[in-house]
Amino acid sequence: MDVTVPEIPPEYDEYRARLRAFIAKHRPALEWKQRAGMRCPDEATEVEKLREWTRALYDAGYVLDRFTMEPGDPYEQRILLEELSETEIPYVLGNPLVAGALQLFGTPEQQEQYLPPMARGDHIWTQLFSEPNAGSDLASLSTRARLEGDEFVVDGQKVWSTWAQFADYGYLLARTEDVPGSKGISAFILDMHSPGIEVRPLREMTGTADFNEVFLDGVRVPAANLIGARGEGWRVANASLAAERGGVASSAPGDPVQALVRLARAHGRAGRAAIDDAAVRQEIARFAARHRVVRYLGYVVATRAARGETTMADAPMTKIWFSELNLEMAQYGLELMGAQADLVEGEPGAYEDGRWQDLFLYARALTIAGGSNEILRNLIAERELGLPREPRG
């Protein structure tokens, strides 16, 4: 198919210049270091700085389409994403997966109440999908919500919830119907300050606590907080997950290929810079070619979406390509560093303060986020290609 990626007209140069000037004036001074992936600050003071930054953007009119019911100028949206990504500072706080659910399934009241504060950073959201025994196989979740009057009472446990320790609201999936599988699941808006909620941050091998486990004990949720109809949660969640899988590729700040080139220039091999080795240059060239495939695959998916022709394979394919390439590039970066790869963040002599070590340790998580790549391959095979279902145990 033809891929539509029109050049941004010159008349938008003024918009870009204004945005750059605004960013230079308002970018926050953070002690927390932004890293690749879906990361979260350790300190509440740093979160508040990020809230102020996001509020300033919103109040100046720099709002992403994902938080509005009326799309903005497509060229301005592209420029906004490009320039904000260059800052390597979070400009969307928490996990905004619920935004797509509210746009597609939310009531007008829900859209008005929750989308603007999410865009402005007033509300930080977390995703409450995965459980200890229900990750990529989400249809087997066991968290339950029983109706009592005009409220649901929720009991269960969630895990791998990013930003939950700072979240104001949660996007919750719970079983409301006494039927097995996906048909018994409903989607909710959960006030994270409700009685009965306990959040425990999980310290990972990266040294950071980006994920949490969340315990729900008799938590009361108004029935008005249902997203979509009762028992429709699986449909709501799948619409949201398509957006998450397509967005995983935006998790790595900067140009990873150029970062590899800088790394190869800074490290030696056989008495000379690694970049002077033809084998190294060929390997980086292979990464560059695959990185371009990811970019153009994104263009294809965006073009299909604009035409209303999205397929079941689009978002999973993009996510698989990016996450596996990201992992391989991180591993190759450590190989180029040789013995220096043992030096991590905070240690004297650590290259770029351990950026590559952290990238490598986190990269595996991106092959799991939004559904493991193994599950996504099954999804492509079964739902897009029509192949026989894999035997279930």
pLDDT tens, residue by residue, 206-238:
888 999 999 999 999 999 999 999 999 999 988
Does residue 244 register a pLDDT over 80?
no
Considering 71, 92, 120, which residue would you say is the last residue of a domain? 120
Q: Looking at the domain assignment, is residue 139 inside a domain? A: yes
* Pairwise CA distance, residues 258 & 288, whole Å: 9
Please identify every residue annotated as catalytic: 244
Range of the domain at 301: 255-384
- In this structure, the answer to whether residues 204 and 219 fall within a common structural domain is yes
Q: How confident is the model at residue 1 (pLDDT cuts 50, 70, 90)?
A: low
What CATH number is given to the structural domain containing 305? 1.20.140.10
Count of residues making up the chain: 393
266 and 169 co-located in one domain: no
The number of distinct structural domains making up the chain is 3
Residues 210, 295, single domain; the answer is: no
Q: Has residue 243 been placed in a domain?
A: no
Given a cut of 50, is residue 145 above it in pLDDT? yes
CATH number at residue 217: 2.40.110.10
Query: Does 245 reside within a domain?
Result: no
Residues 203 and 267 in one domain: no
Q: Please give the DSSP secondary-structure letter assigned to residue 131.
A: B
Q: Are residues 97 and 20 in the same domain?
A: yes
- Both 326 and 373 in a single domain? yes
Domain membership flag for residue 226: yes
Looking at the fold, whether 217 and 301 belong to one and the same domain comes out as no
Average pLDDT, the chain: 90
- Residue 155 falls within a domain, yes or no? yes
pLDDT per residue as tens digits for the range 327-378: 999 999 999 999 999 998 889 989 998 999 999 999 998 898 878 899 889 9
Residue 263 has pLDDT above 90, yes or no: yes
Residue 159 bridge partners (DSSP): 213
Of the candidates 132, 63, 123, the residue with the CA atom closest to the CA atom of residue 98: 123
> Which has the higher per-residue pLDDT, 41 or 138?
41
User: Are the C-beta atoms of residues 312 and 380 closer than 8 Å to each other?
Assistant: yes
Which residue bears the tokens 């990811």?
A: 294
Tell me: do 262 and 378 sit in the same domain: yes
Please list, residue by residue across 148-167, b when 16 or more beta carbons sit within 10 angstroms of its beta carbon and e when fewer do. eeebbbbbbbbbbbbbbbbb
pLDDT at 242: 62
* Residue 96, SS3 per DSSP: coil
Pairwise CA distance, residues 87 & 110, whole Å: 31
Q: List the one residue out of 143, 36, 124 whose CA is nearest residue 88.
A: 36
Residue 103 lies in a domain: yes
> pLDDT tens for residues 152-189?
999 999 999 999 999 999 999 999 998 888 889 999 99
* Of 104, 120, 136, the domain-final residue: 120
C-beta separation of 365 from 162 below 8 A: no
Measured distance between the N- and C-terminal CA atoms of the chain, rounded to whole angstroms: 39
Residues 42, 135, single domain; the answer is no
Same domain, 361 and 324: yes
Q: Are 165 and 70 in the same domain?
A: no
Supply 101's token pair: 């659910």
Angle between helical axes of 74-87 and 13-26 (0-180°, round to 10): 30
Boundary (domain end) residue, out of 86, 120, 154: 120
